[in-house]
Amino acid sequence: MAELSGTLLNYRTRVRRYLQETKPSSSYWSDAFLNQIFNSQYRRRCSQLIMAFEGYFCSVATRDLVALQAFYAFPSGFQRMQKLELVRSNGMTVPIRSFERHEETNGIPSAGGDQYTCMYRPRGSGVVLEPAPLEAAVGGLRMEYIAVPVELEADGDSMHPDFPMLFDELVVLDAACTALDAEDMMEAAGQGLTRSLIRNRSEWEMDFERFIDSRVIRRQAIAPFQGHYTDS
């Protein structure tokens, strides 16, 4: 079967070349297992690109504003907010500022429709608009957000176009090393197995700690610096 460049079939074949077992029927590693570890390493590298704050894997979604409803859920696969905007009836978009309200009251908007203004704060799997909209608006809320690409499942599936193809070999090498680690863990005994698992877990945990520090980008307004008062 001919290899298709940039597809899961091609990546799996390249991984097997590094492992020196090119025939799945006689290989220690099954196709299903290589697919699993390739996807885990691919999505891990994608998460590192997301942490670079360069707009990788950005998608756009809209939500209908519902009268007096404050909470709006994030889209499926959401990882981090890039921009949240209100959409006016003429198509103009207005950015919304993120603000944590601890001491002020949450009032009811005195105007609706295109006069509605608000701020937002993240809460769990969505955002809360404060104050809530007074009127409904179809597609009135626009989100630019980052989502980790879906896994490659079929042999013809390709990586997300935002992934730098110059470095796809790095993911292939990641998968090959992980496959060898898995073999070592199966053949090791006692502390050898434990050490391999702990090292593998620690590498993922370091990425996780960096990732949760940057889940939602938030811009806070800063008051201009005021100098010391002087009596004229």
**End-to-end C-alpha distance for the chain, whole angstroms:** 87
Summarised one tens digit per residue, pLDDT across range 155-213 is 999 999 999 988 899 999 999 988 888 776 666 555 555 566 677 778 778 888 877 77
pLDDT reported for residue 194: 59
Summarised one tens digit per residue, pLDDT across range 92-129 is 999 999 888 888 888 888 788 899 999 999 998 999 99
DSSP one-letter string for 143-205: EEEEEPPPPP-STT-B--TTS-GGGHHHHHHHHHHHHHHHHHHHH--THHHHHHHHHHHHHHH
What are 181's two structure tokens?
A: 């680690």
Domain positions in the chain are 8-53+151-212, 58-147
Name which of 207, 218, 206, 68 is nearest 135 in CA terms: 68
What is the rounded CA–CA span in Å between residue 88 and residue 200?
A: 49
DSSP one-letter string for the chain: ----TTBHHHHHHHHHHHHT---GGG-SS-HHHHHHHHHHHHHHHHHHHHTTTS-TTEEEEEEEE-TT--EEEPPTTEEEEEEEEEE-TTS-EEE-EE---SSS--PPPS--GGG---EEEEETTEEEEESPPSS-EEEEEEEEEEEPPPPP-STT-B--TTS-GGGHHHHHHHHHHHHHHHHHHHH--THHHHHHHHHHHHHHHHHHHHHHTTSS------PPP-------
Q: Model's pTM, two decimal places?
A: 0.74
What is the rounded CA–CA span in Å between residue 43 and residue 33?
A: 16
pLDDT reported for residue 208: 81
